[in-house]
């Protein structure tokens, strides 16, 4: 390479915590503060290793299912939401519950219930096995079928092709989802759209920001965990938008030095469940290796916040 090397970092904005993750993590912190440990959490509260490890150290106990929670104990439902069956199990075991389901996931549940009441066939675009999809599908299992990719569309069977609606997981790639929906619409021309976008604002904004910087980047680093759908999508979006390479890392220490060979511009972003401290760790790591010049590429301002789950809000009694 020539002497005109210019090592720089482009930092995507928005990145990191969304309103739903912020609320869910705070819900566990508040539950620990108000009730003391142990506080049980069904599934990972958000899909991030660091967050789960930090909350575990403070007394949160993460379980896969409610039957692992002692009767009468306090359990938090994660940001990804739960099916009515899980709520029923928690009631049977007389668990005290705090629902940290993101309000934007709840919105999709409401849509599923409404279209099921109106007897639509609901095509849910999403990833099989993802907790959010299990929760949404559980709202109306007899009306909902999962469509993972455009290739799946050929095998979809509905009762009445005139009465079909698509909904989606909140954390998908916007472009891929639209491809799947186009294929669905070819088969079902009167396919109804969701009343409003199901892919949430945070997922969309983080993808737009990555798309804006990726064409200038020899390498894009996405901070996020492997089971974080929106983080994995950011790697894919970076590659399809022209990044030379893109990798997902939980921590700076996972960066392979060989990725930096011959690289000038590095793009950096993080998934919606990633605390900023982990991004700072990567910035410090890169600065030590000559990438001290950091420029933020901003494509949107985010101001949305959600209030805490009602079980944790201060009681008005006695005021
Ligand atoms: S990624 Fe979107 S749907 Fe998921 S918690 Fe964040 S705001 Fe809610």
Each of the 319 residues of the chain gets a pLDDT tens digit; together they read 444 459 999 999 999 999 999 999 999 999 999 999 999 999 999 999 999 999 999 999 999 999 999 999 999 999 999 999 999 999 999 999 999 999 999 999 999 999 999 999 999 999 999 999 999 999 999 999 999 999 999 999 999 999 999 999 999 999 999 999 999 999 999 999 999 999 999 999 999 999 999 999 999 999 999 999 999 999 999 999 999 999 999 999 999 999 999 999 999 999 999 999 999 999 999 999 999 999 999 999 999 999 999 999 887 544 4
Could you confirm whether 296 is annotated as catalytic? no
The SS3 assignment for 224 reads coil
Let me know: does 74 contact 96? Beta carbons within 8 Å. yes
Catalytic residue from among 29, 65, 131, 132: 132
- Cross-strand bridge partners of residue 192: 165
Binding site membership for isopentenyl diphosphate: which residues? 47, 80, 130, 228-230, 273
CATH of 104-187, one of 3.50.50.60, 3.40.1010.20, 3.40.50.300, 3.40.50.2000: 3.40.1010.20
Burial 206-233 (b: 16+ CB within 10 A, else e): bbebbbbbbeebbbbbbbbbeebbbbbb
CA neighbor of 20 nearest in space, from 299, 248, 273 = 273
Residue found under tokens 């401290």: 277
Q: Backbone phi, then psi, for 7, in 5-degree steps?
A: -80, 120
Let me know: does 147 contact 153? Beta carbons within 8 Å. yes
Q: ∠52-53-55 over CA atoms, to 5°?
A: 65
CATH number of 20-102: 3.40.50.11270
Q: Going by CATH, does the domain composed of 8-17+201-298 fall within 3.40.1010.20?
A: yes
Contacts of 22 (CB under 8 A, 6+ apart): 305, 306
Whole-number Å distance, alpha carbon 20 to ligand 1 midpoint, is 5
Residue found under tokens 């620990």: 32
- Cross-strand bridge partners of residue 246: 220
- The distance from CA 225 to its chain's CA centroid, rounded to whole angstroms, is 10
Which of the 8 DSSP states describes residue 43? S
How many CB atoms within 10 Å of residue 264? 16
Domains 8-17+201-298 and 104-187 share a fold: yes
Let me know: does 280 contact 254? Beta carbons within 8 Å. no
What pTM, to 2 d.p., does this model score? Answer: 0.95
Residue found under tokens 């559980």: 138
Query: Domain boundaries in the chain?
Result: 8-17+201-298, 20-102, 104-187
Whole-number Å distance, alpha carbon 167 to ligand 1 midpoint, is 15
Taking the CA of residue 20 as reference, the ligand 1 atom at the shortest distance is 5
Name the strand (E) or helix (H) holding 221. strand 219-223
């Amino acid at each position: 390479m020539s002497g005109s090397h210019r090592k720089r970092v482009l930092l995507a904005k928005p990145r990191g915590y969304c309103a739903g993750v912020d609320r869910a993590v705070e819900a566990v912190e508040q539950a620990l503060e108000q009730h003391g440990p142990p506080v049980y959490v069904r599934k990972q509260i958000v899909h991030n290793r660091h967050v789960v490890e930090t909350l575990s150290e403070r007394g949160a106990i993460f379980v896969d299912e409610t039957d692992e929670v002692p009767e009468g104990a306090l359990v938090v439902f994660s940001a990804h939401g739960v099916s009515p069956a899980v709520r029923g199990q928690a009631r049977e075991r007389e668990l005290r519950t705090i629902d940290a389901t993101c309000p934007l996931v709840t919105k999709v549940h409401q849509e599923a219930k409404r279209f099921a009441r109106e007897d639509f066939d609901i095509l849910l675009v999403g990833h099989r096995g993802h907790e959010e999809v299990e929760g949404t599908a559980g709202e109306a299992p007899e009306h909902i079928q999962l469509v993972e990719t455009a290739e799946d569309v050929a095998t979809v069977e509905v009762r009445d092709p005139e009465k079909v609606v698509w909904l989606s997981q909140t954390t998908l790639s916007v472009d891929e989802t639209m491809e799947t929906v186009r294929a669905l619409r070819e088969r079902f021309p009167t396919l109804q759209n969701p009343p409003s976008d199901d892919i949430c604002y945070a997922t969309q904004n983080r993808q737009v920001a990555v798309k804006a910087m990726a064409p200038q980047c020899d390498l894009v680093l996405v901070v996020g965990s492997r089971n974080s759908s929106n983080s994995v999508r950011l790697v894919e979006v970076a590659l399809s938008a022209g990044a030379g390479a893109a990798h997902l890392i939980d921590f700076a220490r996972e960066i392979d030095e060989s990725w930096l060979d011959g690289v000038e511009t590095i793009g950096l972003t993080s998934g919606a469940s990633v605390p900023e401290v982990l991004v700072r760790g990567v910035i410090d790591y890169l600065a030590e290796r000559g990438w001290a010049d950091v420029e933020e590429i901003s494509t949107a301002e985010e101001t949305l916040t959600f209030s805490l789950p009602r079980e944790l809000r201060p009681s008005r009694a006695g005021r």
